[in-house]
């Protein structure tokens, strides 16, 4: 079953692709329908006030759905797929779009506006139920939760209590208020959520106050800048001022774990997974039952990492299993990836032309950085490796990639897939040259890489790899669609988040389409004769990025982040989703196939 129509599509991807467009709308394939599940300002906690764009308060926002939804994680609460806990990241705030025209002065925000920003960050947890006709509906439940920049986190793992993590408010270095810039993430096999703290540098002021050359270089390496911050938070809480709290920046840039099953649980920062601009984190169980976590550092010329635990995974989602498995992430080995091409270097000329063996491919190794308290990096302590992980990866000669975004293991074929979103600086003077794993200079459209760990074991320290896609307009010679007929694929640009359907087809959402159309969500088979057949499933409204994606048998979820981002309050480019003259509101959208007798059908069949 699954609707194979001739040889046109494989199961899970049988739909008519939508055409690229620049509409202020979500566009879905013919025969499909969609609806907003929850939007910025909608109630999450009991007693939340109704969203009032003209009179927003920090108190209201702390009980409402936050801004700029990114990762979406569904944890099933029954075996039939009717009830889920939905956890959503709120990556960042765009204050100039969050207040009525003329009321937000970026040079002089009010304290209340700043506090609204703190409350609009973090995550939301809500319970959702499936609607028989299709889609998901938020229901009030005891699981409803908001995590904000005021929520207390426990720091765990080998850098907990480190001298690099202590502040005047927390001399223990083990307790941090809040999480921020939570970009992508993953659902663990034990039913919790991992979430990556990504571009945390932008929230801090006055990095130039640090004059010690080693410390100053570390701040620079992570992008912390001189002078005031964009949001001016440092005026209202000194922890955002590096001149006053030089270690506060080190308390962000981690993978955090949230347990949506227990609304009273203290969320965790896992230092064993290293500190960098984590896009997300996804788990694969090793052959001997340990836990591997993959994570990319999303910046130009940054790295791909893997953590492998020492302890073994306990199957199940009981409170006991969740506690046990979460602890596994505190003790293990952190690795960084090195990719080696198998084609002669002169055949990789930066043009994107396939080498003579017909593939961008090769072998790779995982270079250990630290195991517990033991550093494998000359000149760095283990503590330094965890807190300044980029510096450690530099020292061991890992491969600098074209912005490693979401990385996820394929539950069907066992291989691991990484979106490399773009890197316009590749090949520029003084920057990294093209290599077989990052084969295009001035890479505007990105690519998708897959690897297979030796013996299919996530604990292996060697692997083989190849590129699945070199993205762009298929009419252009510098693109590659897994060997599939390029006249039969959708254009795709800037792959960002990835997920899989039950058949193992890869689904990719995009951020920053460099081809002039809106971003969207795409499916692509990764095995068999349809490998590389990219089909566009939906487009998001103008200015928006497509995030989150979740693909179940019955529903596709996509997080529409920053709709109308390129407009201004005086001159908005989007009024999605509410229409009229309303402000654009980041929202989660559910898509389903219209079925018979008022029941939804199967996605892609
Ligand atoms: Fe927040 Fe790397 O995208
Ligand atoms: Ca992202
Ligand atoms: Ca090759
Ligand atoms: Ca992105």
Positive or negative, the Cα torsion across 12, 16, 18, 19? positive
Res 339: pLDDT: 98
Nearest atom in ligand 1 to 545's CA: 3
- Residues 548-568 as b or e (16 or more Cβ within 10 Å = b): bbbbbebbbbbbbbbbbbebe
| Share above pLDDT 90 across residues of the chain, in percent, rounded to a whole number | 97
ipTM confidence = 0.95
pLDDT-derived band at 7, boundaries 50, 70, 90 = low
Cα–ligand 1 centroid distance for 512 (angstroms): 11
Question: Of how many residues is the chain composed?
Answer: 605
Query: Which residues, judged by CB distance below 6 Å to any ligand atom, belong to the binding site of ligand 1?
Result: 91, 183, 198, 279, 298, 405, 496
Give yes or no for residue 254 having a pLDDT over 90: yes
Give yes or no for residue 6 having a pLDDT over 60: no
Res 72: pLDDT: 98
What is the tens place of the pLDDT at every residue in 297-356?
A: 999 999 999 999 999 999 999 999 999 999 999 999 999 999 999 999 999 999 999 999
DSSP assignment string, 288-346:
TSEEEEEEEB-SEEE-EEEEEEEEEP--S-SHHHHHHHHHHTTSEEEEEEEEEESS-GG
Nearest atom in ligand 1 to 198's CA: 1
Neighbours of 501 (CB within 10 A): 22
Nearest atom in ligand 1 to 421's CA: 2
Q: In whole numbers, what is the pLDDT of the chain averaged over residues?
A: 97
Cα–ligand 4 centroid distance for 561 (angstroms): 10
Give yes or no for residue 5 having a pLDDT over 50: no
Q: Cα torsion at 219, 221, 227, 230 (round to 10°)?
A: -110
Cα–ligand 1 centroid distance for 513 (angstroms): 14
CA distance 53 to 265: 32
Give yes or no for residue 559 having a pLDDT over 70: yes
Res 1: pLDDT: 29
pLDDT-derived band at 553, boundaries 50, 70, 90 = very high
Instruction: Look at ligand 1, atom 1, and give the residue with the nearest C-alpha.
Output: 183
Nearest atom in ligand 1 to 277's CA: 2
CA distance 336 to 352: 25
Residue 117 near residue 233 (C-beta atoms within 8 A): yes
What ligand has the least distance to the C-alpha of 340? 3
What is the tens place of the pLDDT at every residue in 199-210?
A: 999 999 999 999
Q: Please tell me which residue, 81 or 100, carries the higher pLDDT value.
A: 100
- C-alpha distances out from residue 580 to 217, 572, 583, Å: 49, 11, 9
Res 81: pLDDT: 86
Residue 360 near residue 480 (C-beta atoms within 8 A): yes
pTM: 0.97
The first and second tokens of residue 423, run together, are 């890197």
Give yes or no for residue 532 having a pLDDT over 80: yes
Arithmetic mean of pLDDT, 78-87: 94
Arithmetic mean of pLDDT, 63-87: 96
pLDDT-derived band at 8, boundaries 50, 70, 90 = confident
CA distance 451 to 106: 45
Cα–ligand 2 centroid distance for 405 (angstroms): 6
CA distance 84 to 87: 10
Arithmetic mean of pLDDT, 466-485: 98
Res 110: pLDDT: 98
Res 212: pLDDT: 97
Nearest atom in ligand 1 to 298's CA: 2
Cα–ligand 4 centroid distance for 498 (angstroms): 12
Cα–ligand 3 centroid distance for 497 (angstroms): 26
Give yes or no for residue 3 having a pLDDT over 90: no
Give yes or no for residue 291 having a pLDDT over 90: yes
Give yes or no for residue 512 having a pLDDT over 70: yes
Res 2: pLDDT: 33
What ligand has the least distance to the C-alpha of 480? 3
Nearest atom in ligand 1 to 403's CA: 2
Arithmetic mean of pLDDT, 525-548: 98
DSSP category for residue 7: T
What ligand has the least distance to the C-alpha of 339? 3
What is the tens place of the pLDDT at every residue in 97-120?
A: 999 999 999 999 999 999 999 999
Arithmetic mean of pLDDT, 194-218: 98
Cα–ligand 3 centroid distance for 362 (angstroms): 6
């Amino acid at each position: 079953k699954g609707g194979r129509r001739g040889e046109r599509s494989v199961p899970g991807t049988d739909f008519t692709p939508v055409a690229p467009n620049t509409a202020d709308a979500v566009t879905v394939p013919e025969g499909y329908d969609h609806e907003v599940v929850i939007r910025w300002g909608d109630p999450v906690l009991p007693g939340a006030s109704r969203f009032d764009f003209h009179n927003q308060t920090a108190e209201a926002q702390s009980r409402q759905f936050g801004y700029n939804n990114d990762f979406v994680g569904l944890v099933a609460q029954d075996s039939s797929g009717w009830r889920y806990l939905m956890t959503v990241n709120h990556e960042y705030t765009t204050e100039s779009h969050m207040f009525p025209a003329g009321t937000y002065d970026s040079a002089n925000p009010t304290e209340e506006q700043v506090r609204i920003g703190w409350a609009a960050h973090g995550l939301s947890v809500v319970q959702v139920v499936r609607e028989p006709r299709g889609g998901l509906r938020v229901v009030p439940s005891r699981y409803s939760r908001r995590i904000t920049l005021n929520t207390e986190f426990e720091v765990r793992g080998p850098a907990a209590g480190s001298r690099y993590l202590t502040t005047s408010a927390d001399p223990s270095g083990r307790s941090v208020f809040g999480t921020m810039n939570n970009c992508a993430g993953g659902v663990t096999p034990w039913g919790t959520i991992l979430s990556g703290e990504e571009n945390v540098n932008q929230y801090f002021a006055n990095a130039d106050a640090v004059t010690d050359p080693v410390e100053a270089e570390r701040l620079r390496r992570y992008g912390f800048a001189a002078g005031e911050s964009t949001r001016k938070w440092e005026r209202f809480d000194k922890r955002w001022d590096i001149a006053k709290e030089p270690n506060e920046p080190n308390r962000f840039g981690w993978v955090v774990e949230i347990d949506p099953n227990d609304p009273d649980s203290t969320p965790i920062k896992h230092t064993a997974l290293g500190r960098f601009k984590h896009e997300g984190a996804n788990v694969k169980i090793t052959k001997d039952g340990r836990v591997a976590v993959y994570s990319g550092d999303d910046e130009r010329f940054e790295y791909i990492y893997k953590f492998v635990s020492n302890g073994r995974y306990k199957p199940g989602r009981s409170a006991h299993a969740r506690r046990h498995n979460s602890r596994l992430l505190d003790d293990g080995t952190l690795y960084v990836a090195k990719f080696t091409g198998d084609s002669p270097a002169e055949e990789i000329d930066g043009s994107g032309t396939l080498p003579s063996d017909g593939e961008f491919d090769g072998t790779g190794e995982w270079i250990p950085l630290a195991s517990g308290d033991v550093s494998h990096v000359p000149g760095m302590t283990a503590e330094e490796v965890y807190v300044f992980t980029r510096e450690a990866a530099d020292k061991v000669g890992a491969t600098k990639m074209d912005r490693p975004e979401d990385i996820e293991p394929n539950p069907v074929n066992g291989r691991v897939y990484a979106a490399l979103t773009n890197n316009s600086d590749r090949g520029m003077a003084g920057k990294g040259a093209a290599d077989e794993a990052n084969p295009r200079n001035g890479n505007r459209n990105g690519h998708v890489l897959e690897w297979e760990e030796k013996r299919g074991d996530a604990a292996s320290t060697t692997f083989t790899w190849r590129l699945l896609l070199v993205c762009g307009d298929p009419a252009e010679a510098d693109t590659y669609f897994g060997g599939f007929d390029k006249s039969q694929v959708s254009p795709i640009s800037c792959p960002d988040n990835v997920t899989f359907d039950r058949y193992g087809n890869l689904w990719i959402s995009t951020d920053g389409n460099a081809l002039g159309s809106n971003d969207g969500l795409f499916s692509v088979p990764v095995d068999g004769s349809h490998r590389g057949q990219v089909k566009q499933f939906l487009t998001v409204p103008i200015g928006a990025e497509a995030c989150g994606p979740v693909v179940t048998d019955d529903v596709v979820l996509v997080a529409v982040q920053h709709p109308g981002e390129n407009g201004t309050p005086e001159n908005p480019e989007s009024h999605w989703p509410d229409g009229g003259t309303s402000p654009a509101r980041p929202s989660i959208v559910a898509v389903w196939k219209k079925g018979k007798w008022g029941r939804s059908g199967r996605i892609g069949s």
